[in-house]
Amino acid sequence: MKRILLPLLLAAGCNYSQKELLKAPEEQAALRAMQTRIYDTTDEQKTLRAVIATLQDLGFVIDDANAMLGIVSATKFEGGVTRVQVAVKRHGEKQISVRASALAGTKAVTDPAAYQEFFASLSKGMFLSAHEIE
């Protein structure tokens, strides 16, 4: 009994859950590709405004937006808690990349179809077609 209890007690003090702090989600490169699209525009502000309007139309409430950092975050409570963060930045001289990353509860959304739906809506809002990253 003592043999079982001692390792258990030691393990209890190890704070395994803290190791999530700097851990990247699994299959990071593939995830980044499905979360990112490139648009043929240089107008970051217009892109960010289109992201905000798209998220609102999808039922999200905007939590934060920062033009200087090119970041928008939003939350939706319907059908469980979903949080999304979108980052907009210059991609070369003539394009802009948009990356959306969503969490359903505490789990990263890894379904490519979900991100396809997001970018389909965003493309409509921007009147531009999206390119996948190479």
For position 114 contacting other proteins by CB under 8 A, the verdict is: yes
CA distances from 52 to 26, 81, 89, 92, 102 (A): 28, 18, 15, 23, 15
Closest approach of other proteins to the CB of residue 2, in Å: 35
Amino acid code (one letter) for 53: A
**What is the footprint of other proteins within residues 71-90 (CB under 8 A)?**
72, 75-82, 84
72, two tokens: 């928008």
122 close to 114: Cβ distance less than 8 angstroms: no
Closest approach of other proteins to the CB of residue 131, in Å: 19
For β-strands 82-91 and 71-76, DSSP reports them as antiparallel
Q: Quick one: 76 or 131, whose CB is closer to other proteins?
A: 76
Closest approach of other proteins to the CB of residue 111, in Å: 7
What Rg do the C-alpha atoms of the chain give, in angstroms?
Answer: 19
For position 108 contacting other proteins by CB under 8 A, the verdict is: no
Which residues of the chain form contacts with other proteins (CB under 8 A)? 45, 48-49, 52-53, 56-59, 61-68, 72, 75-82, 84, 102, 104, 109, 111, 113-115, 117-118, 121
